[in-house]
Amino acid sequence: GSLDLTFSKGINEYSNYNENDERLVVSFTIPLFEKFSSMYNYKVSSDSYVYYKALNDFASRRVESNYNKSKSNLMLSYETFKKREDNLKASLKIFENAKKQFNRGRISVNDLLIEQDRLLRTEVLANSGTKQFHKAIAEFCHAVGKSIIKECL
């Protein structure tokens, strides 16, 4: 009879997203115990399959979760963006009307300054809404695996 010694090393590049999962398997084969070796190899293969299937399922759930989260965030950001743009248009009309009223002497400087302050705050909120919407677009594109610059914007 003969004695065989085998070393094998495997690397899972996709484990835990940034860490390598290394396994070292050492097996001795003695012809008398060939059946035991086959059973052991089957068990190692079966365990490895279950382990990597669980990793794959986890990654799939995480991708789906990121997609759903970014999609709902995109929809909410769009609604907020539109409402803030509408508020900005209304605030601008109110301020323009206040300027006309001021020029006619119907309102005081303080009233005009109040309307100007409201307009400025509305502009800041509208800019913030635009920023959030663009951020949500980028997150959604990333979640679906598209290039932000080439395919989404």
pLDDT digits (tens, 9 = 90+) for 91-101: 999 999 999 99
Q: Which residue has the higher pLDDT, 36 or 127?
A: 127
140-to-53, 102, 112, 114, 133 alpha-carbon distances in Å: 27, 47, 42, 39, 10
Average pLDDT, rounded, for the chain: 82
pTM of the model: 0.59
- Among 8-12, 43-47, 143-147, 148-152, the minimum mean pLDDT is found in 8-12
Contacts of 79-88 with C-beta under 8 Å, sequence gap 24+, read 80/129, 80/132, 80/133, 81/129, 81/130, 81/132, 81/133, 83/129, 84/122, 84/125, 84/126, 84/128, 84/129, 84/130, 85/126, 85/129, 87/122, 87/125, 87/126, 88/122, 88/123, 88/125, 88/126
